[in-house]
């Protein structure tokens, strides 16, 4: 099942106007139907500086995009997810500077 990601203040978080979810295996879950996959590259193309898309896609390699939100498939290995959720005091990924 999926759980909606939250920051340190227990507020739901999003990235580029899409809610973020991650795989979680307890009863406190959100029942979301993740159909209609979207292309990350196509969705982000107007938001990322020229020549930096590969860097951004590498940062988000464990992220899948659907019409109704992002799904982080391996949140333990995602610097961006850890930064946004404020887990482990993760530093801000430099790739965020590549967004317009």
- Look at residue 24 in the predicted model and tell me its pLDDT: 75
| Measured torsion, CA atoms of residues 7, 91, 38, 48, in degrees rounded to the nearest 10 | 130
Residue 63 pairs in a beta bridge with 72
With vertex at residue 7, the alpha carbon angle to CA 48 and CA 49, rounded to the nearest 5 degrees, is 5
* Residuewise pLDDT in 10s, the chain (100 residues): 788 999 989 999 999 999 999 987 655 556 677 889 999 999 999 999 999 999 999 999 999 999 999 999 888 789 999 999 998 888 999 999 999 9
What is the rounded CA–CA span in Å between residue 74 and residue 83?
14
What is the rounded CA–CA span in Å between residue 54 and residue 31?
32
What is the rounded CA–CA span in Å between residue 68 and residue 46?
19
């Amino acid at each position: 099942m999926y759980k909606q990601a939250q920051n340190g203040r227990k507020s739901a978080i999003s990235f580029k106007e899409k809610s973020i979810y991650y795989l979680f295996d307890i009863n406190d879950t959100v029942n979301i139907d993740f159909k209609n996959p979207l292309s990350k590259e196509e969705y982000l193309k107007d938001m990322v500086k020229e020549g930096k898309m590969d860097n951004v896609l590498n940062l988000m390699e464990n992220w899948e995009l659907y019409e109704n939100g992002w799904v982080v498939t391996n949140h333990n290995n995602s610097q961006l997810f850890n930064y946004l959720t404020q887990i482990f005091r993760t530093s801000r990924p430099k790739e965020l500077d590549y967004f317009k």
